[in-house]
Amino acid sequence: MKFLGNEMITVEDGILKIDGYNATELAKEYGTPLYVMSESQIVKNFTRYVEAFKEYTEKTGKEFIVGYAYKANSNLAITRLLSKLGCGADVVSGGELYTAKLSNVPSEKIVFNGNCKTKDEIIMGIEANIRSFNVDSISELILINETAKEMGKVANVAFRINPNVNPKTHPKISTGLKKNKFGLDVESGIAMKAIKMAKDMENVNIVGVHCHIGSQLTDITPFIEETRKVMDFVVELKKEGIKIKDVNLGGGLGIPYDKNTEIPTQKDLANAIINTMMEYKDKIELPNLILEPGRSLVATAGVLLGKVHHIKETPVAKWIMVDAGMNDMMRPAMYDAYHEITPCIIRNENKKEVVNIAGGLCESSDVFGKDRELPKIEVNDIVAILDVGAYGISMANNYNARGRPRMILTSEKGVYIIRERETYADLLSKDIVPNYLL
């Protein structure tokens, strides 16, 4: 049994292992629900980006920067690991910027995204001397300029443009269409207007153009269209006397959640983007290139382990009830997302039954998989939900007064707890009871 994209997972004599560690034994030792992150898989995923895009640096002499999208998984051990590998940071909040600095990410490798930056966050970014704020609106540009003036500083800005590109992905993770809330529209001239305004401002420094069209893209074509539209815009800016140092094409490369589906690799993405960028080498001086991958760096490195507490048969289905729930991992409930699921003890791979795998929350949407054909599962077995390293723990919550789960890191050096399980006391630690109720 093989799981596409999850090289750290093996099955030996019916036992599922993660980086060589018995998944069932990990669950027994560290408790469930349990997130398991593989260091080796993260390193492989990151290295593939670096190797795939080194051709751009070789051909142009320009920088290539991977800015990990912290929204995917901002656990401090994960962000420190990536920082040690040379990875930058794409942050969308003060909290993520704080994490990036604690992770020792150099300021020149940090970009600040988001469509509603607050003044306090802008102050943080200016104080940190980040590479750029990716400006999402004219009002934001004005606030950045005013804030920088108050501080006696100059803020670096890039401009997030909306190219109206269909990313061919789930509507809830599409970000580059005209109807989406993100970016400055190119076709109407708003983007050009904003950049010309910035040119006349004293406390901002124009450094780049940014674009992000969506997440979980499984077709290279939208990336090519995005790159061409961004570069066409950079050519227009040159005509206006505005030189662009950085082009940031965002992230969005998908991963094979469905193991029967082959999807583009980092090399496929690199070939498409580099070939398109090189079409412009005689029109402009080619810029530094920045990408903001999140999912494709960490998703395949994560597994959520849940213990089977009950099995229930109804007239229409057989339900496997596990102690993980949608509060631990929201993607199936929120996006109808598919995740591969497997028991950690595979008794007979050739003898399967159709089951539903669900959590114990008071929501009908608290289901990880319906009508899954799986080897026989028994009470007290451990079930593994794959590809949860991105938008798993980062979207976890305390619904039904459940603590967020523990997370461990598997590596050649051993197994390490990198996030402790929340206790009942943690759940109430921020609540305050007025005196009259005491």
427: Cβ–Cβ under 8 A, 6 or more apart, which residues? 398, 401, 403
Judge residue 340's burial from the number of C-beta atoms within 10 Å of its C-beta, 0-12 exposed, 13-18 middle, 19 or more buried. Answer: buried
Lookup: tokens for 15 = 């036992």
pLDDT value of residue 340: 96
Structural domains in the chain, CATH included, are: 9-39+299-428 (2.40.37.10), 62-293 (3.20.20.10)
pTM for this model (two decimals): 0.94
Query: Among residues 75, 72, 70, 71, which one has the least CA distance to residue 87?
Result: 70
CA distance 277 to 272: 9
Residue numbers in the known binding site are 252, 292-295, 331, 335, 363, 391
> Is the peptide bond between 33 and the residue preceding it cis, with omega within 30 degrees of 0?
yes
State how beta strands 406-411 and 414-419 pair: antiparallel
pLDDT given at position 174: 43
What interhelical angle do 190-199 and 138-151 show, nearest 10? Answer: 20
Alpha-carbon gap, residue 371 to 373, rounded angstroms: 6
Annotated binding site for pyridoxal 5'-phosphate, which residues? 252, 292-295, 391
Active site residue 362: yes
DSSP letters spanning 415-430? EEEEEPPPPHHHHHTT
Spell out the residues 6+ positions from residue 252 whose beta carbon is closer than 8 angstroms to its own: 167, 169, 212, 213, 214, 215, 216, 217, 223, 293
pLDDT, position 178: 54
Give the whole-angstrom CA distance, residue 141 versus residue 158. 10
Mean pLDDT by 10 residues, the chain (438 residues): 83 96 98 98 98 97 98 98 98 98 98 96 98 97 98 97 67 51 86 96 97 89 93 96 96 90 92 97 97 97 98 96 97 94 93 96 96 97 98 97 98 97 97 96
Q: Which residues are annotated as a binding site for substrate?
A: 295, 331, 335, 363, 391
Q: How many CB atoms lie within 10 A of CB 316?
A: 6
Place of tokens 């815009």: 233
Which candidate in 87, 116, 211, 362 is catalytic? 362
Q: Quick one: pLDDT at residue 56?
A: 98
Residue pair 119/140 in contact (Cβ under 8 Å)? The answer is no
- CA–CA distance, 180 with 198 (Å, rounded to integer): 24
Residue holding tokens 């102690």? Answer: 323
| DSSP β-ladder status, 110-112 and 88-91 | parallel
Predicted pLDDT at 3? 77
The DSSP code sequence of 126-195 is: HHHT-SEEEE-SHHHHHHHHHHHHHHT--EEEEEEEE------S-GGGB-SSTTSS-SEESTTSHHHHHH
pLDDT of amino acid 167 = 53
Report the half-sphere exposure of 215 (CA within 13 A, side-chain side).
Answer: 18
Angle between helices 190-199 and 221-239 (to 10 degrees): 40
Q: What is the pLDDT of residue 48?
A: 97
Show the tokens assigned to 261.
């589906």
Q: CA dist 375 to 138, 383, 401, Å?
A: 56, 11, 32
Residue of 67, 70, 111 lying closest to 88 (CA atoms): 67
For residue 374, give the amino acid letter.
Answer: L
Can you state the angle between helices 266-278 and 221-239, rounded to 10 degrees? 30
